[in-house]
Amino acid sequence: MITEKKLELYSSIFFMQKLLKNKAVQFILMAGGLYVVWLLLYYFVIKGYTDWDYQLNYNIVSLTQSFLNWFNVPTYIDIESDHVVLFMDGMNFRGIWVGDECNGFKLFSIFSIFIIAFPGDYKKKLWFIPLGLLIVHIANILRVAALVMIGNHYPEFLDFNHLYTFTIFVYAIIFLLWYWFAKKYSKSEQES
């Protein structure tokens, strides 16, 4: 005989099974789980035992310096503890400080987690993730170059552009990459 409690339990189990088959729920669970794993890996392994953040900070500043040198903009690099600073040569401004929060490492992980968790062919993800990471890295280099120029010529606009304009710029690029992947590659999987 089925009691009311058993009926409620069976309904709950049926509801959970149906919910877990939902693609959106699967995406959220997978992305959330991968993000937790990433955070644990980042804070307990990468941050504690490697200098990846510093290397990425230096890489961004060095590539930005090379980019600005193409346009005959003289710059020099200085190291301030765990920050790498890019100054325009001979100019009197505070420079652009690139630290762990600005180097894009966490953005790389968020971008990658979204692509991994999104339904689609893993072969396509294997080339799309590195392409996306490269595009995000280039966007970050352009952001730092623009901030150097703004800081030198219009220092009163530096904080606003750092906090808002270029944050929106980089996140918009990530969103467009996600959108491109979702539209182009989720369609081909659904049609297969």
Say how far apart CA 36 and CA 42 lie, in whole Å.
10
CB 71 within 8 A of CB 30: no
The pLDDT score that the predictor gives to residue 120 is: 85
| Secondary structure of residue 85 in the 3-state scheme | strand
Kindly report, residue by residue over 78-131, the tens digit of the pLDDT.
Answer: 998 889 999 987 666 778 999 998 899 999 999 999 999 998 889 999 999 999
The pLDDT score that the predictor gives to residue 188 is: 47
Helix pair angle (166-191, 105-117), 10° resolution = 20
Tokens, residue 120: 């689609």
Q: Give the HSE-up count for residue 175: Cα atoms under 13 Å, Cβ half-sphere.
A: 6
In the sheet where 75-80 sits, what is the strand order? 75-80, 83-88, 96-98
Q: What is the mean pLDDT of residues 156-167?
A: 94
Say how far apart CA 99 and CA 84 lie, in whole Å.
7
The pLDDT score that the predictor gives to residue 192 is: 45
Q: What is the mean pLDDT of residues 122-149?
A: 95
Rg (CA), the chain: 22
Comparison of pLDDT for 175 and 14, the residue scoring more = 175
CB 5 within 8 A of CB 80: no
The pLDDT score that the predictor gives to residue 92 is: 66
Kindly report, residue by residue over 45-81, the tens digit of the pLDDT.
Answer: 999 899 999 999 999 999 999 999 999 999 999 998 8
